[in-house]
Amino acid sequence: MEKTWRWFGKRDNITLAMLRQIGVEGIVTALHDVPNGEVWTYDAVMDLKRLIEGAGLRWSVVESLPVCEAVKYAGADRDALIGNYILSLENLGKAGVKTVCYNFMPVIDWVRTDLQHPWADGSSSLYFDRTRFAYFDCRILRREGAEKDYDADMLAAVDALDKTITDTEKKSLIENIIVKTQGFVNGNITENDRDPVSIFRALLAQYAGIGRDALRENMKYFLSAVMPVCERYGINLCVHPDDPPFPLFGLPRIVTCDEDIDWFLHAVDNPHNGLTFCAGSLSAGIHNDVPQLARKYASRTHFVHLRSTNVLPNGDFIEASHLEGRAHLVDLVRIFEKERPDVPMRVDHGRLMLGDKPEEYNAGYSFHGRMFALAQVEGIMAVVRDELQNNLI
């Protein structure tokens, strides 16, 4: 696999020169300053590409070229927005950037409740607390009908939490769930927004009446429209699985499991329509056997995210060490090194450790934590390459 790293552009305080020193080969990035829905011009793409190449690296993957909400809920302007998406793909294709990641999650990209869950060793990682999430949904967002999505035990836990939760904790739930995890990935809410909860309510309302089947149809419509340009330029488009891979806020989620992946790959059965194999996201669903999914879908995987989680007995999940947890990265490296030796891979998320904290990196995207994880993954890769050379696997 090609060793890549998610870099957030010129404003990232992790520089391209630093990345070269730690053995990164390819860059994963986006035109983060272009508002969603606008065209990525050829010139802007080339400027960024030259900057990356000037540092002795290559631009391997776009993460993400965001799909606008109106495409997902089939709003009146969806064809115009898809038209712009096609132009952006065309410009990327002309510039030779040919792996493009996106997601099809309504309203909210990835979700966590705690961005600094402490570990006993003094580092911290991301965490999803089911009770706190339900608390946000029922008591802070006050989504109509939210209670129906939770069982009696969970509602009792929400009541109990209401007696102890502080205002500061409530504020950080808002920040963590809908602000800090969203803005930097070109999500719907940024740190400058004054009333994120109201914005979020309005966004959710756009999906009233849109269930799983309608969302699937809209994804199929989008994929059918963009596949010709992908074919023309040899672009591999790869959807990121829903993170976490289960429904939230009453919204449908359609890239969560084996059946979903099988559905979208067949809905538009074209080799350019593929998957971003995000091991961490898939592993947070107790229904997923991650190595089995990798074996089944390696041939349609165009980009790999390596990270792992542990699902706890109460249903919470924690981002685990890259050597442990439900994703079984050793098995995944064996599968992808064998089946897809050239596929770009990035280490996904890292703990906050060794002085990362004051740097205020984007949630999950620490420097030392990711560098540590990359070194672990490189170690696995070295062993696996040796196994392959000696015909041991």
Judged by beta carbon, residue 138 or residue 177, the one nearer ligand DNO is: 177
CA-CA distances (angstroms) from residue 261 to 65, 138, 236, 245? 20, 31, 16, 12
Q: Taking contact as CB under 6 A, which single stretch among the options 80-88, 103-111, 252-260, 310-318 is the one that binds ligand DNO?
A: 103-111
Residues facing 274 on adjacent strands: 238
Residue 365 a catalytic site member: yes
Residue 287 a catalytic site member: no
Contact status: 176 vs ligand DNO (CB under 6 A): no
- Indicate which residue of 278, 297, 328, 368 is catalytic: 278
- Indicate which residue of 137, 348, 356, 368 is catalytic: 348
Nearest CA to 90 among 209, 233, 190? 233
Looking only at Cα atoms, what is the longest distance across the chain? 61
Residue 305 a catalytic site member: yes
Select the residue interacting with ligand DNO from 78, 112, 240, 326 (CB under 6 A): 240
In whole angstroms, the minimum distance from the beta carbon of 240 to ligand DNO comes to 4
Residue 240 a catalytic site member: yes
Assess contact for 290 and 326: CB atoms under 8 A.
yes
Select the residue interacting with ligand DNO from 64, 113, 125, 176 (CB under 6 A): 64
- Dist. CA 225–CA 218, nearest whole Å: 11
Q: Taking contact as CB under 6 A, which single stretch among the options 39-47, 97-105, 252-260, 327-335 is the one that binds ligand DNO?
A: 97-105
Residue 386 a catalytic site member: no
Angle CA(150)–CA(155)–CA(157) in degrees, nearest 5? 125
In whole angstroms, the minimum distance from the beta carbon of 108 to ligand DNO comes to 10
- Indicate which residue of 117, 302, 305, 322 is catalytic: 305
Dihedral pair phi/psi, residue 28, rounded to 5°:
-115, 115
Contact status: 60 vs ligand DNO (CB under 6 A): no
Contact status: 284 vs ligand DNO (CB under 6 A): no
Contact status: 7 vs ligand DNO (CB under 6 A): no
In whole angstroms, the minimum distance from the beta carbon of 45 to ligand DNO comes to 18
- Dist. CA 233–CA 228, nearest whole Å: 9
Q: What is the DSSP string of 112-175?
A: -SEEEEEPTTS-EEEEE-HHHHHHIIIIIS--TTGGGGS-HHHHHHHHHHHHH--HHHHHHHHI
Assess contact for 184 and 33: CB atoms under 8 A.
no
Assess contact for 237 and 274: CB atoms under 8 A.
yes
Contact status: 114 vs ligand DNO (CB under 6 A): no
In whole angstroms, the minimum distance from the beta carbon of 2 to ligand DNO comes to 18
Judged by beta carbon, residue 101 or residue 306, the one nearer ligand DNO is: 101
Please compute, for residue 281, the number of CA atoms within 13 A of its CA located in the half-sphere on the CB side: 24
Contact status: 185 vs ligand DNO (CB under 6 A): yes
Select the residue interacting with ligand DNO from 2, 12, 90, 109 (CB under 6 A): 109
Angle CA(308)–CA(173)–CA(11) in degrees, nearest 5? 70
Residues identified as active-site: 240, 278, 305, 348-349, 365
Site for ligand DNO, rule CB under 6 A: 63-64, 101-103, 109-110, 185, 240, 364
